[in-house]
A and B are shown apart, each in its own frame.
Chain A
Amino acid sequence: METATPVDNGVDVEALLGAREALTEAPEAAQFKWRASCKWINGTHSRSSVKSFFGLGEEQAHRTEFTFDADHPEVFASEDKGATPTELILAALASCLTAGVASVAQHRDIQLRSVTATLEAGMDLQGILGIDGEVRNGFDGINVHYDIDADASEEDIAAVVAQSQKRSAVYDVITNPTNVSVSVN
């Protein structure tokens, strides 16, 4: 269905394209650092917060500090004061892909009406509990399903979802290995 009003998914594509051009000229400014801190509260309950980050050559900050409580549910003999960290991973993946869907759709002049992602990841607890050394700690796979209502053909919608995976940071972090170094004190 054609709409007379211009496509508006709330994404400022002009600004994004401008940023791409500017950062092509000044690759130093493209160097970002993302940060989070986490405080143990009690048991398996902890609270992470994000506020500052670095980018465009200088210190930056969110408008306000955001916090995320993480815990484990009662079946783990925990108090369930927040999402499990693994669920936060799913949330991060979904949010990253969904932001991509909105941006790519805007860029391709596709009006979105609704976008819902449903995620499920399998995990064999024999890994983290050390019952079976051959079982991996992490997910054995992640399924993401999108329900999208938009002014576009099925193929065009599929192409938007595929492109958002191609450009997603969290998708990359999950699908490719990343070196992690942990230090103490």
Chain B
Amino acid sequence: MRTTTVVIGAGHAGLAMSHCLTERSIDHVVLERGEVANTWKTERWDSLRLLTPNWQSRLPGFGYEGDDPDGFRDMSETISFIERYAEVISAPIRTHTSVSSVRARNGGYVVDTDRGGWQAKTVVVASGACAVPNVPALAVAIPTGIEQITPKEYRNPDQIADGGVMVVGASSTGTQIAAELQRSGRQVTLSVGEHVRVPRVYRGRDIKWWMDRCGVLDEGYEAYDNLERVRNLPSLQLAGSNDRRTVDLNSLTDLGVKLIGRLAGITGGKAQFSGSLPNLASLADLKMNRLLNTIDEWVAQNALESVVEPAQRFETTRVDASPPLGMDLASGEIRTIVWATGFRPDHSWIDLPVFDRKGRLEHEGGVVEAPGVYVMGLPFQRRRKSSLIDGAADDATDLSAHLTTLLSGGGPAAA
């Protein structure tokens, strides 16, 4: 089969790209191994809500239709939202079609699937930035009696053995799962590495509203000389809930969660934790205050003091003076370990020389070096918001424009 562009993945990112290609009359197909919004249907836990408010899921040609712009969608609402988008834009989707390889041929690409191959001039990889949960190498040393689970498999507390849980990782996923398991009556110990703290609500408005207004989310990748660092920043400690509560380390401590340092090693069945917790907590506090300063400055510049609530600073993160540095994993205190240690994409099926020495897809703002190959949805790929639903519109617009120019130049040269 032949087409001009093959888009791989029918999450919001692939769909946004499909819409932009349709607008530009570029013949294309969207290949999806499962169904539309597959990741949201099969890889998320039951209680999850989007951490971005409803108004903030702005896809190209499609905005929020309901009457609760400040609410947070649960999983079924998120799925219907993406399904509805696919319908509204009439995306040419082939579901249950799994891509097994992308190869260069005759100045274009061959995309192999379990339902036949495609020949295309250009390829857009929109297979998701969070395809594989990271599990640190030291996990192999965890004693066998302890169950291990990743957020991709975690659904709800009923899955988890009674008894203590260690959640490793204190970003968006880790803090939410830690809170849920602690509320379920289990003692949770949260191992805290580098993290980004933000309040849910500041000066009476949602933090995402402020970040949107102040332009923080639109910051472009060109402005950063150390892209490696910003692309690897952990997700915000943030969750969507009806009561708009903040999930930071202090709120978890109040729930009864025990905070310990970063899991640094396991020897002879004993876990060792880093002594860096006080510094990581203070780095996160300082960084949060810099964001709040940015917001305050923006308020002042726009003379909005009378419209919004007064500026405020939050209690610094409380950490024990000497949290435990070790834990005997054989003692039975911990029955389950949850690896909330981030995610990475799976691009293993791309058979092109486009990877860096650490096996990561190399790209310049989503433009891959193999001419005509693009990627969507990676962290900070063009803008701070690139990996968010709200980031797809601008990125798809830019990249579809690039793709169109390339096609009008006579088609890509062989890679």
Contacts and interface: CB of A to CB of B under 8 A. Distances in A.
Interface of A: 24, 27, 140-141, 155, 158-159, 162-163, 165-166, 171-172, 174-177
B275 A175 contact: yes
A165 B286 contact: no
B267 A174 contact: no
Given A140-B322, A176-B265, A177-B264, A158 B276 contact: no
Contact of A155 (B228, B275, B276, B289): B289
Interface string B237-260: 000000000000000000000000
B4 interface: no
Contact of A177 (B228, B272, B290): B272
Interface of B: 228, 261-262, 264-265, 267, 272, 274-276, 279, 282-283, 286, 289-290, 321-322, 357
A166 B360 CA distance: 25
B322 A141 contact: yes
A165 B279 contact: yes
A162 B267 contact: no
Nearest to A174: B275
Q: Which of B267, B279, B357 has the most CB of A within 10 A?
A: B279
Contacts of A155: 286, 289-290
Best-surrounded residue of B265, B275, B322 (most CB of chain A within 10 A): B275
Contacts of A159: 283, 286, 290
A140 B289 CA distance: 32
Query: Taking chain B's interface residues, is the majority helix, strand, or loop, or is none over half, making it mixed?
Result: mixed
A165 B276 contact: yes
Contacts of A172: 276
A171 B276 contact: yes
B274 A163 contact: no
Contacts of A141: 321-322
Nearest to A141: B322
A120 B290 CA distance: 31
Given A27-B357, A140-B322, A141-B322, A175 B286 contact: no
Given A141-B322, A158-B282, A177-B265, 7 more contacts: A155-B289, A159-B290, A162-B282, A171-B276, A176-B264, A176-B276, A177-B272
A50 B275 CA distance: 28
B281 to A, nearest CB: 10
B283 to A, nearest CB: 5
Nearest to A165: B279
Contacts of B321: 141
Contacts of A140: 322
B343 to A, nearest CB: 23
A39 B267 CA distance: 32
A166 B283 contact: yes
Contacts of A24: 228
A166 B279 CA distance: 8
A176 B290 CA distance: 28
25 contacts: A27-B357, A140-B322, A141-B322, A155-B289, A158-B282, A159-B283, A159-B286, A159-B290, A162-B282, A162-B283, A162-B286, A163-B283, A165-B276, A165-B279, A166-B279, A166-B283, A174-B275, A175-B274, A176-B262, A176-B264, A176-B275, A176-B276, A177-B264, A177-B267, A177-B272
